[in-house]
Structure 1
Amino acid sequence: MLIALIDDGIDTSVFPEIRVKYDLLVERDGVVRERAADDRIITGHGTTCASIIAKYAANAEFCSLRIFHRENLRASCAQLAAAMEWCLDARIPIVHLSLGTRQPNDYKRIRSIVARLIQQRQIIVAACSNSGDYSIPAHLSGVMGTIADPGLKGAEYTLLPGSSLIHASSRHTLFLPPGHEFLTHTANSYAAPTVTAAVHNILERREAFSMSVGQVYTELVGDPDSMTLVRPDFIEDAIILNPSGFPLLKQHLFFNCLAEFQCPPEVVQLSSDCKSLVYLVPQDSRLVSGYDIGQGYAGKIETLLYGGSLPERERSMLSEALVWSEDCCCYPQDLFSPPSSDQPAIINLHGRGLRAIDLMCRLRDMFIADGYQCRGLCGFPYSYLYDLEYVPAGVSASSAIAHLSLLCRPDILICNFQGPGQGVVDEEGSYSIFLGNDEGSNTGSLSCLKAAYDDQDIVSLYHNILGYFS
């Protein structure tokens, strides 16, 4: 079975037993071409990863996509995206990445490619950052993110309770010609190959693309309920079923929307090439038709965003698909806030409705464009459609902030709690925005923004926030 290894290349002169079918490199401008004989591989990171995979998956065959060309093992997002898009077009069954990015402005592009790979039943295994920081693609839902566990050895791996990441051995004895051996050190880069080898062996017993990502994960860890889907990252090129006609901000959707239908779901026929669905359960219980999404779409879709609480019977019918619902929004109540040195800058937005959502999205995008890790917390219905962290009614603002601070370690959190009983955390040093005043004003840690704000108002507000926290 073919495995794409995106790294610094594979040097078969070091490990002759490694079988490389395609030996490619990605130029800085994203052009993919065959690696020439004089394009010498000067580092051994990818070669070591391939050797680990081959050690535990003897029949593995590789497609080497070289994106690292220097000793510092750095590449551009364009190179990473080009390599992943090549895998998408070539339909490589398994994509291995002992690498990732922590740059927030890389998220949108990489997430979209990952979602399309998942919909084609291509399995992605990625190493987490050794720093422990949030990185992609490892932390994207549907990706088999991996971290090293020094207590494991050889081909061992496990899933710890409450974790969304696979813990695997990274200590492997490899043999160099002529008869020398060395032991790899503890690093996430060398743990991910352990999982990739296991995935290869699962698929080798079946057939490429015969199993969905969820099915492979279940066979890998042995528990169908263990795959924690924190966010609906795998939605892309989707149809939206919106029977109640709830107003949406199409310009801020985190995914590409092919079409929206404001009619009973049972009359909508998906085309065979549409594998991603968003179903918005009406907020008004009187409008809920009792439609069974499981019966209607089982076996037809690969990914589903269910805008509500999904009944267990319907979930079981959709066991082949990756399904995110509001039930996935779990916020532990016993978390302590991180130390003050690790706390994000908090912006409290006081406002309601879609105008508040629009302002949140625009501010967040401005922060991300400037390189800040910025997330939004919101209790507005369906706010997850806009890549905001949804906070259900009854979850306190302090619990949500503590949870997201530990999960993503953001630089900035924009909070807009519109649900009952959620409250607002106006901590010392936070910034407050009041939306809906007749006249706008900026004073210190407080801004009042008129309801009919324009682009210049937002730019002025953004610079005022930057000035306050700098």
Structure 2
Amino acid sequence: MVNQYANKGLIIIAATANSGYTAFPASFSNVIGVKAKDTFNIDAEGLRDKGVDFAAPSEHKIWFGGNDITLQKSNSYAAPYVTAMAGRLMMEQSWINNVWQIKKHLYQKFRGKCVQYIPDWIEKGWIAGKVLKSKEEVYFEVAAKEEADTVILYDKNEFNEYREKHIVYLGNEIAEQPDTQCFFWSRRNRKEQILCSRIKKENINIPVILLKSGKEQDQIWWLTELRKSFEAEGYNAYAISTEQESVLYDLEYIPFAVDENISNKIGDFLYWQTYYNQSDLIICGIQEKESIGVEADIFVRIENGKKQTGIQIYCDKIKKAQMCFGTLGEQQIKEVYDCLLTILTEDEDGE
């Protein structure tokens, strides 16, 4: 709904939650998120941790009924300040007509760089020249190139052809953000977000489930189906994949730890992300020879045989379960989920 109207030109400015946790719609990329502070400025930490763009004054003084009234410090009272700033900008520069342009110009006011860390803005997307590997459905409507608000590209040399559209770049080459008036995402955005993460206050204190499989397995499908199962039981699972295409399925992309600088910061990044998202557990999918530098509480190995798929589940390096499936479908995923939930709740009972 938000993406539908934002891509039609509606400018949405929303206060984030006073609780301090991630809140929607303020945390969506297609929304200008605001929190309260003494002065108007970029909220770089808020953008990195929970998608909030700006901090603004909220304790406004108004004359009402013969009395001077000072409003309390509240995110809701800060949002109108940014709304006025955006309105004035659009009035002075009439060519500005979308959220990205407003964000970009307000960031430049403070000599800041406006980076979108999550490509969650897509309403209608066109995928260029490649068939997606997963059988799971992407989170947006797949459309013809002419109808799409966003193009998903694998070749950085094509950027100039789509200057009027948002771009999600999934190619292997490193690419600089093009100078356009639309949203842009590449894996470099996520790496930058990870490297800028603050040092965590303590170790991650929610369960971490690690799924390791070969390239033959549909990792994205496994993660989305398991996340759905946990959500159906009221658990908020933070699902991670090392595959770039995972961003098209509303999963969290984490580059596997080949870069030591990235490896050293992934724990910090996950701590703050799961803290602000109030996550109950982490589910992470990796392929053979990959690592994300975070220790798992439960380890699930998925092995392809000639006719069957073998599943082995370990907790504290002790094998808890072993399964073999001739075919893989929702029912088989549910069996794996039930086993994981039993192990997790056994740990809770033991405490």
Question: Normalising by the residue count of structure 2, what TM-score does the alignment of the two structures yield?
Answer: 0.80
For residues 221-275 of structure 1, what are the alpha-carbon distances to aligned partners after superposition, in whole Å with 9 as ceiling and x for unaligned?
325862231100111211111x3x344325331222125xxxxxxxxxx32x432
Match of 2:229 in 1: 366
| Aligned-partner Cα distance in 2 for 1:175–1:461 | 63
> Residues 146 and 423 (structure 1 numbering): CA distance in 2 closer, same or farther, change over 3 Å?
closer
| Residue aligned with 1:329, SS | helix
Match of 2:348 in 1: none
| Residue aligned with 1:350, SS | strand
Match of 1:131 in 2: 19
> Residues 170 and 195 (structure 1 numbering): CA distance in 2 closer, same or farther, change over 3 Å?
same
Pairing of 1:200-219 with structure 2 (within 5 A): 200-207=87-94, 210-219=96-105
For residues 143-181 of structure 1, what are the alpha-carbon distances to aligned partners after superposition, in whole Å with 9 as ceiling and x for unaligned?
2111111x33xxxx101455522111111112222x123
Match of 1:388 in 2: 251
| Residue aligned with 2:58, SS | coil
Question: What root-mean-square deviation, in Å, do the aligned CA atoms of Structure 1 and Structure 2 show?
Answer: 2.9
Give the one of 279, 294, 302 matched to 2:159. Answer: 294
> Residues 380 and 163 (structure 1 numbering): CA distance in 2 closer, same or farther, change over 3 Å?
same
> Residues 448 and 323 (structure 1 numbering): CA distance in 2 closer, same or farther, change over 3 Å?
farther
Match of 2:188 in 1: 327
> Residues 352 and 441 (structure 1 numbering): CA distance in 2 closer, same or farther, change over 3 Å?
closer
For residues 316-364 of structure 1, what are the alpha-carbon distances to aligned partners after superposition, in whole Å with 9 as ceiling and x for unaligned?
2xx2111111111121287544435x62221111113342221111001
The residue identity in structure 1 corresponding to 2:153 is Y
Match of 2:269 in 1: 403
> Residues 278 and 420 (structure 1 numbering): CA distance in 2 closer, same or farther, change over 3 Å?
same
Structure 2 stretches lacking a partner, 5+ long: 48-52, 346-351
| Aligned-partner Cα distance in 2 for 1:332–1:217 | 22
Pairing of 1:275-354 with structure 2 (within 5 A): 275-281=149-155, 292-299=157-164, 301=165, 303-308=166-171, 309=173, 311-312=175-176, 315-316=178-179, 319-330=180-191, 331-332=194-195, 336-339=199-202, 343-353=205-215, 354=217
The residue identity in structure 1 corresponding to 2:339 is N
| Residue aligned with 1:366, SS | helix
Identical amino acids, percent of aligned pairs: 22
Shift of 1:118: 2.6
| Residue aligned with 1:367, SS | helix
| Residue aligned with 1:358, SS | helix
Query: Is the 1:344–1:405 contact (alpha carbons within 8 Å) kept by the matching residues of 2?
Result: no
Match of 2:349 in 1: none
Shift of 1:455: 2.4
The answer to whether residue 238 in structure 2 is matched with residue 375 in structure 1 is yes
Give the one of 60, 67, 70 matched to 1:183. Answer: 70
Highest Rg: 1 or 2?
1
The residue identity in structure 2 corresponding to 1:346 is V
Query: Is the 2:168–2:186 contact (alpha carbons within 8 Å) kept by the matching residues of 1?
Result: yes
> Residues 401 and 418 (structure 1 numbering): CA distance in 2 closer, same or farther, change over 3 Å?
farther
Query: Is the 1:170–1:185 contact (alpha carbons within 8 Å) kept by the matching residues of 2?
Result: yes
Query: Is the 1:127–1:192 contact (alpha carbons within 8 Å) kept by the matching residues of 2?
Result: yes
Aligned length: 321
| Aligned-partner Cα distance in 2 for 1:383–1:432 | 21
| Aligned-partner Cα distance in 1 for 2:114–2:197 | 23
| Aligned-partner Cα distance in 1 for 2:62–2:321 | 60
| Residue aligned with 1:417, SS | strand
| Aligned-partner Cα distance in 2 for 1:350–1:136 | 32
Question: Normalising by the residue count of structure 1, what TM-score does the alignment of the two structures yield?
Answer: 0.61
Shift of 1:119: 1.7
Query: Is the 2:122–2:149 contact (alpha carbons within 8 Å) kept by the matching residues of 1?
Result: no
The residue identity in structure 1 corresponding to 2:160 is Q
Query: Is the 2:266–2:294 contact (alpha carbons within 8 Å) kept by the matching residues of 1?
Result: no
Structure 1 stretches lacking a partner, 5+ long: 1-112, 260-269, 282-290
The answer to whether residue 334 in structure 2 is matched with residue 459 in structure 1 is yes
For residues 379-411 of structure 1, what are the alpha-carbon distances to aligned partners after superposition, in whole Å with 9 as ceiling and x for unaligned?
124222222222224256673243033024222
| Residue aligned with 1:185, SS | coil
| Aligned-partner Cα distance in 1 for 2:299–2:175 | 39
